[in-house]
Structure 1
Amino acid sequence: MKIKSVFSDSFAKYGKVLEGYDIKPLIEELKKTDKPAAAVIYEPHSEMEKLPVAKEFSVNAYGGLAVEIGYCNGFNTKLNCLEYHRGSELNIPEQDMILLVASLADVKKGFIHSKKVEAFRVPAGTVVEIYETTLHYAPCCDVRGNEVSDGFRVAIVLPADTNTDKEEIKIKNWEDKLLWAKNKWLIAHPSTAEAKLGAFKGILGKNIDLVN
């Protein structure tokens, strides 16, 4: 699979790189968080919320909205699922990583083919905004030829309360079937653990693996 740069014109429909933020203290705090060697963990909140840059993200990047700052760490080379939120997501990686993304416009009643997915490399320390119309999921390790990095730590900024427990709802349309957590709509590949737990099985085609 061709891996493009997050700085390329090809990424413009999915998001953009944000400049002007001092994220060195955030990266230092991120380095203190756990990084599993053979799994992926996600925490919606962290000590990074206490840093000055957290207020800057809220006031500048989100126009004054309340935000949460957590992290997604571990080891992963597969697509597995695609999710989206109401409101952009910011990713700030400790080391180079790869994002697998697609466009929400290509989802038809909950279904999308994995051939619509594109891969973009994000350099360490880059603040990348992922638009709310962009499908994404857990980051992937950096892959260069036959070389795979030893994992990733990525700070995740989202509108407050995203990915927390959702309220029970009455299904009104196909999108309601995708609601997996608060402000989190999820489409799973049938082969995944998420699908076995009840997530909507809407990814058609193969489950992309960057090492195969």
Structure 2
Amino acid sequence: MSKLELLRSLNTNLSIFHIDDEEFLPFGRIVEEYDFTSYLNYMNEKDIPKEGNVYMASIPEMEKQAPSESIKENFYGGMDIQVGYCNGVNSTLNGLEYHKSSEINVACTDMVLLLGQVQDIVDNSFKSVNVTGFFVPKGKAVELYATTLHFAPCKVQDEGFKTVVILPKGTNEPLPEGLGKKTKEDQLLFMKNKWLLAHPDREVLMEKGAHPGITGENIELFYKM
């Protein structure tokens, strides 16, 4: 039984596909035009925390590596970028975010992304039944479109997951003090270029003032018998 088949058998409440499947097309695409070897080598030296996740938005050493300049000039059309990583032991949905830009994830371990679509947000609310899981094998890179809801990956092995995260520079930095909330969507604006819907069960996000916009089950991904 393949890892994907096992995941499907253990999570019958969730549709799980491979990023090679056509079901991924509305959410993103596989990125193959850049050589991510230097990122993968760098990430080999980075640990996975024993609890929770660690997100480093911008690592200058990674931003100086070979693919970064090409991604800045070609993928993002000359926009400044930040290259960082997210490592952790997460297994639950917890929240969904989107940016007004694409994001690149480079899987440094096998992992599953739980994804949704901005088009399914109604009155700042999103039903978790509309989430779809996608298996991303180690070494593969994906572009997540601006309309794709996403959050931290889910692990599919005991040690956890590692992924490189590439975004326009400044994304996920604190918002300016005193920023006025003028529209309904502004209720979701959580950090720079980051609109977030949290599951109310995720207390750490509630304590930080995230909008409790996810209804239904806080999906948990099971990966072993």
* TM-score normalised according to structure 2 size: 0.89
For 1:161 and 1:186, how far apart are their aligned partners in 2?
Answer: 16
Which of 189, 197, 202 is residue 208 of structure 2 equivalent to?
197
Equivalent in the alignment of 1:178: 188
* TM-score normalised according to structure 1 size: 0.94
- For residue 30 of structure 1, report the CA deviation from its aligned partner: 1.5
Aligned-pair identity (%): 39
Which of 33, 38, 41 is residue 51 of structure 2 equivalent to?
38
- For residue 211 of structure 1, report the CA deviation from its aligned partner: 2.0
Q: 3-state SS of the aligned residue for 2:190? A: strand
Equivalent in the alignment of 2:140: 126
Equivalent in the alignment of 2:110: 96
> Superposition RMSD on alpha carbons, in Å?
1.2
CA contact (8 A) 2:38 2:66 kept: no
For 2:159 and 2:44, how far apart are their aligned partners in 1?
Answer: 14
- For residue 38 of structure 1, report the CA deviation from its aligned partner: 1.9
- For residue 174 of structure 1, report the CA deviation from its aligned partner: 1.3
Q: 3-state SS of the aligned residue for 1:187? A: strand
For 1:20 and 1:161, how far apart are their aligned partners in 2?
Answer: 25
- For residue 35 of structure 1, report the CA deviation from its aligned partner: 1.4
Matched residue count: 207
For 1:207 and 1:140, how far apart are their aligned partners in 2?
Answer: 13
Higher strand share: 1
Equivalent in the alignment of 2:221: 210
CA contact (8 A) 1:30 1:48 kept: no
- For residue 109 of structure 1, report the CA deviation from its aligned partner: 1.9
Matches within 5 A, 1:16-27: 16-27=29-40
Matches within 5 A, 1:157-172: 157-167=166-176, 168-172=178-182
Unaligned runs of 5+ in 1: 143-147
For 2:181 and 2:90, how far apart are their aligned partners in 1?
Answer: 32
Which of 95, 100, 108 is residue 86 of structure 1 equivalent to?
100
The letter for the 2-side match of 1:8 is D
The letter for the 1-side match of 2:80 is A
